[in-house]
Chain A
């Protein structure tokens, strides 16, 4: 149990390939922090620098107040779970999990207790005598987690632990990681490219792109107030609709005018615009698919568009619609909100009207892509 502090951490490969730039972050004791971003954004590299598997080019990494830059991985007292499990193929499940304890020369009795306890928590007691090759992917990942669990490590690092599992198993394991976290109350650093994992697991999320931190915040913060267009599009699925349009100020009121519709900005966002004295201007307007609704044709706030693709997800429909000028939008509509008849009409080529509420909009600068209000 310990805090982790990264100060101006930088990773340069070779002469000038920069993988991580000026990474500053303080991870509190027992916090669960998720690094998320597309591949090549430097999230794994950062994690590996904390683990000691990559050299730190510049800056410092502190664990529990001690600068660990020059410490070997084994001297950092960390546990790590790898994406590809990294089980020792010649050892049984029991010996795989006991491996770190054996290196610490822990007495046999304690080894037995800890391993069986961890195996029980993870539900792999029946497989303790098997070799890794006789296990399924999910079981292997449990063993890998078990191997990390048996130690009293200060920090628990996980490098895309669920990426190699199929979708169903991934959901199940995700829930188990949340339970696990409640059981072994320690500091977690978790790397993933999956925003759902990031949102569901993290106390705080660090969103990265091209080696730079884009935003650090709680799941709610990054969802409600993304600092820039990248974060806005990365967090949330399907991704946020972006429309190039005008923000119009009329006295104390603000309107947006996407595709000829006129929709008033309301709620907190309107107040913030007023407080910051924002004038009429060009903007990139962001609306999440789940915030879009069906509208009637006569409504001044309605945007007419044609359905291109209708994805039936079960509990909801994902409609990929096209506006007259060719812009594509995604609309997410709960199936319960639709009459049967309406649902059967949602075929490719049908014209529908969509709109959205005034309080759910995001405003971005067309040049800098920064959130106007963040």
Chain B
């Protein structure tokens, strides 16, 4: 009798879990479709060959790579693309360096200004970045870091305050047991060696996250970039360059090419993520200390 009731209630639990799972998956599927639809639309647009503007159709009447060949043969897109890619690589490198050093210091070192510094950065982070745009432009134009040299200037901007984005990696470093640092220091390591021999190998996922964030920044930045770059095709990033195709006079002849460029821009970011994904291992700290 008792057995029966237990069985019954567990069956009930299983059934209700199945129902709630089904509901959750339905919601998630709908959200995913809504989310993916624009991307799908862009890919479809990029393969249209007989139209160049918006024709209101989802699928191409005629398929082809015309937009892509035009993109590389008739525009400066390749130049912009390389500019942005270089900026991405440089930003990823320096930003990762700054963010990780900052996070490690705040996670491991105890100094008087630590708390005030963290609070200050939190407050500073609440101001929108574009508040400083005019000033940055002024300084950069004096220093010759606009137009042709804009990519260099932009990398400096992207990296300059990047240390303030320490929260996530500091949070991660905080979960690596401090005894590991201590053991390494007793074993003869300097703070620097502790960082790159112990902490870095254990922080794969967070390092990749930081690299990706840095690499992606220049691809998506339009506002600041458009101010710094202005009017010089040689120094343009993809976002600024492509924007011109959408102006009232050009949108009808360039819209499908714009979509093709959008697809091309998605490639490096996706490639970098896929390439780094294998280092994205979870649970790498297992067995370090008694849990």
**Residues of A that sit less than 8 Å from B by CB:** 51-53, 72-74, 78-80, 82-90, 99-100, 103-104, 131-135, 137, 140, 147, 151, 157, 164
Known contacts A85-B290, A88-B198, A134-B287; A73/B185 CB under 8 A: yes
Look across to chain B and name the residue whose beta carbon is closest to the beta carbon of A133.
B287
Total inter-chain residue pairs, C-beta < 8 Å? 88
Contact B286 A147 (CB under 8 A): no
Known contacts A86-B177, A99-B184; A74/B189 CB under 8 A: yes
- State the CA gap A72–B184 with chains docked (Å): 12
The 7 lowest CB-CB distance pairs between A and B, nearest first, are: A133-B287, A132-B287, A84-B289, A133-B286, A86-B183, A100-B187, A86-B179
Q: Contact check: which of B187, B201, B285 meets A103 at CB < 8 Å? A: B187
**A-B contacts, 16 listed (Cβ < 8 Å):** A52-B185, A80-B186, A82-B179, A83-B290, A84-B289, A89-B286, A90-B202, A90-B284, A99-B187, A100-B188, A132-B288, A133-B286, A133-B287, A140-B290, A147-B187, A151-B187
- State the CA gap A103–B182 with chains docked (Å): 15
Minimum distance in angstroms from B188 CB to a CB of chain A: 4
Contact A74 B202 (CB under 8 A): no
Contact B287 A86 (CB under 8 A): no
- State the CA gap A100–B187 with chains docked (Å): 5
**Residues of B that sit less than 8 Å from A by CB:** 177, 179-180, 182-190, 193, 197-198, 201-202, 284-290
Q: Contact check: which of A72, A80, A164 meets B183 at CB < 8 Å? A: A80
Chain A positions within 8 Å of B185 at CB level = 52-53, 72-74
Contact B288 A86 (CB under 8 A): yes
Contact B290 A84 (CB under 8 A): yes
- State the CA gap A52–B187 with chains docked (Å): 12
- State the CA gap A323–B193 with chains docked (Å): 63
Contact A137 B290 (CB under 8 A): yes
Look across to chain A and name the residue whose beta carbon is closest to the beta carbon of B185.
A73
Given contacts A51-B182, A84-B290, A86-B179, 17 further A-B contacts (CB under 8 A): A74-B186, A74-B188, A79-B186, A80-B182, A80-B186, A86-B183, A86-B289, A88-B288, A89-B287, A90-B284, A99-B184, A131-B287, A133-B286, A147-B183, A147-B187, A151-B187, A157-B186
Chain A positions within 8 Å of B183 at CB level = 80, 82, 86-88, 147
Look across to chain B and name the residue whose beta carbon is closest to the beta carbon of A141.
B290
- State the CA gap A56–B163 with chains docked (Å): 32
- State the CA gap A137–B287 with chains docked (Å): 9
- State the CA gap A151–B186 with chains docked (Å): 11
- State the CA gap A137–B197 with chains docked (Å): 24
